[in-house]
Amino acid sequence: MSIEEIINRIKIKKVYGVIPKNVVGITSNSREVLEDFIFVANVGYTVNGHDYIEKAIENGAVLVIASEDREYNYNKCAVVVVKEKEVNKLASMLAYAINDVNSLPSIVAVTGTNGKTSITTLIHDMLRLLNTTSSYLGTNGFCKNDDTPNYLGNTTPDVVTLHNKLGDLRKDNIKHFTFEASSHAMVLGRIYNIPIDIAVFSNLTYEHLDFHGDMNTYAYDKSLLFSTLGNNLLDAKFGVLNKDDEYYEIMAKTLYQQEITYSIKDNSADFFATDIEHKKVNNKLMTYFVLHSPKGEFDCTIPFIGDFMVSNILAALISVWLKGYKISDIVNLLSNLSPLYGRMEILGEDLPIDIISDFAHTPDGYAKLLEATREMRKGKRTLLLTGMGGGRDISKGPLIGEIISEADYVIITTDSPRDEDVEVLMAAIEKGLTHKSYEKVWFRGDAVKRIVEISKPGDFIILASKGREDYEILQQGKKVWHSDPIVCLEEANKKYKDLKGND
């Protein structure tokens, strides 16, 4: 299908200039435009792509997709003006054609408040252990096979970037792709025309109400992922749903394709786990459980702790099974899975203190983090560091404060405050604390140093809300380096250099 034929599928539009017959690429970033490219002028929260149209043309754009009618008159570039809601739809059709993404064999999309990154990474790791090529995209970035993830900015990037990544995978002959589909992505049209084969739902908890308004709207926005699978049952697509979640029914109602359920509580689910047991073996934290599946029962061992991790494992295992792999082969590799980057990550095992870094940033995430570590923390003083992000929903702050009051001592700090008032951000969490054993530290790097400073041998430190993110975003979008694990280990190794290995 030609570029003009695709554009003509949009019935309400204005066209300035002559539509080019040939293009070689498409982007929504004017700095990435090359000769014979299409430039998509998106209107973002802080940047308006229409302000960069002339720059894109200077760089070689031959076609611009826009929503603001500014009476364009360019000699070497055509401009198509459509309604703002149609920009991503048209852009996705063009990107789909340019990248030929239909030839990519298998795509999994994972949605949910918590667990997206874990499930996405687990699917990728399982596939790599099964000796096939794989790629994933999400909060940690974009990764092919065993490469280091390349951070992209958003959990789910804009629709053009997502299609371009799929085009890259096709060229590299990558067989599998798994990505995190955020609720924002569904509402803002970032996954248009992505040929998803398997859609996974992890859970839905209090988050992003500044964007969605209320929990029911949030749930329905999440459920849009399952409607994208369509209603042609000959396509053999699947929805993998967590039956334990209270919003499961909403997801199920929008799913016309085959439904596969999983649970750690309900034995009516297609896949469910029983006899969950967490142990420390040879200084390694392990979880054992029995998997009940349509193909029989299996004893499973995973190198993670927390019932929620069993749930995440089930979601990932089902997704890989649906790709055609045997459950027995997947079960056999579970104990060899790699630690999850910034998720319940144990640091400095030779130190006389315990340190865990985790991405928990929602009330449910904190509750599960504290529950999973409760047995490990028994008889130890718990020191917890947390921060509230700027430009995010701070109404969850008091709930977080109440939950983390389980810790013996709390340090409240920042988590990329952006242009927000730091005191307001910290106060949101402070309001919910039920004890006075806490302090506030403005700069996160100083806060991490402080928590090590006040620690004593035998203490248990939890670094929450950031995981392995290696930056802080300050005013006017200024990004500065910071890493909780690196700073914490540097300080702890200095403080406890004479006590290492004597835990």
Q: Which domains does the chain have, with CATH numbers?
A: 3-99 (3.40.1390.10), 101-336 (3.40.1190.10), 345-495 (3.90.190.20)
**482 Cβ neighbours under 8 A, 6+ residues apart:** 444, 445, 470, 471, 472
Supply the pTM of this predicted model.
Answer: 0.85
6 contacts 21 by C-beta, under 8 angstroms: no
Helices (H) and strands (E) in the chain, counts: 16, 23
307-322 vs 116-129: helix crossing angle, rounded to 10:
50
Q: Which stretches of the chain drop beneath a pLDDT of 50?
A: 503
Closest of 416, 419, 425, 390 to residue 473, by C-alpha:
416
pLDDT in tens, 412-455: 999 988 889 999 999 999 999 999 999 999 999 999 999 999 99
407 contacts 384 by C-beta, under 8 angstroms: yes
266, 267, 273, 276 alpha-carbon torsion, rounded to 10°? 70
Q: What pLDDT is stored for residue 482 in this prediction?
A: 93
197 contacts 237 by C-beta, under 8 angstroms: yes
Q: What pLDDT is stored for residue 212 in this prediction?
A: 60
Lookup result for tokens 């027995």:
328
165 contacts 142 by C-beta, under 8 angstroms: yes
For 355, counting Cβ atoms within 10 Å of its Cβ (0-12 exposed, 13-18 middle, 19+ buried), the class is buried
Q: What pLDDT is stored for residue 499 in this prediction?
A: 80
Strands (E) in 243-309, as ranges, are 258-263, 271-281, 284-293, 296-302
Closest of 123, 260, 265, 271 to residue 201, by C-alpha:
260
CA 222 to chain centre: 14
Q: What pLDDT is stored for residue 210 in this prediction?
A: 63
Q: What pLDDT is stored for residue 124 in this prediction?
A: 97
**Nearest-angstrom CA–CA distance, 78 and 16:** 5
Q: What pLDDT is stored for residue 501 in this prediction?
A: 62
